[in-house]
Amino acid sequence: MEKSSAVTGEMEKAFLRLSSEEREAVISHGVALRLSHLKKRLFLAESKIRHFEEKYKITLGELEAHGLPDDADYEMHEDYVMWRHWTGVASKAKGDVDVLEKIAQQGLYLGETKYAGH
């Protein structure tokens, strides 16, 4: 067994030793923290994408359909690489946010609702 698999297996065993109530609390808190992080990352990625779209007056899809201009300079090539990177980051973050929001829609752990303004 790989080291990371062994560590994951041990964490899973320890997690399963918790009461179901405690596991739900851990999941609830974890989802909330992770959603916050991913939404910030998505906001950053979308801001970077908007910057490139405004700078070049074109979307990445349109640029890729037409190709880089023949006279594209070094900066445009570098921007293109970063544009693709941030587009990938945004796509992954959006997918992860969507999944975690579905989990969050199941509701906060009931024992913790007093901290959620209820």
- Per-residue burial over 90-110, b = 16 or more CB atoms within 10 Å of its CB, e = otherwise: beebbebbeebeeebeeebbe
For 110: left if phi > 0, alpha if psi spans -120 to 50, otherwise beta; the answer is alpha
Determine the straight-line distance between the first and last CA of the chain, rounded to whole angstroms: 46
Q: Quick check: 117 pLDDT over 60?
A: no
Token digits for 58?
């074109």
| DSSP character string of 53-104 | HHHHTS-HHHHHHH-S-TT--HHHHHHHHHHHHHHHHHHHHHHHHHHHHHHH
Confidence check: pLDDT of 38 > 60: yes
Model confidence, pTM:
0.78
pLDDT averaged over every residue in the chain: 89
Residue 107 main-chain phi, psi, to 5 deg: 105, 155
The pLDDT-based confidence of 48 (bands split at 50, 70, 90) is very high
Percent of the chain with pLDDT over 70: 87
Residue 117 to residue 106: CA distance in whole angstroms: 17
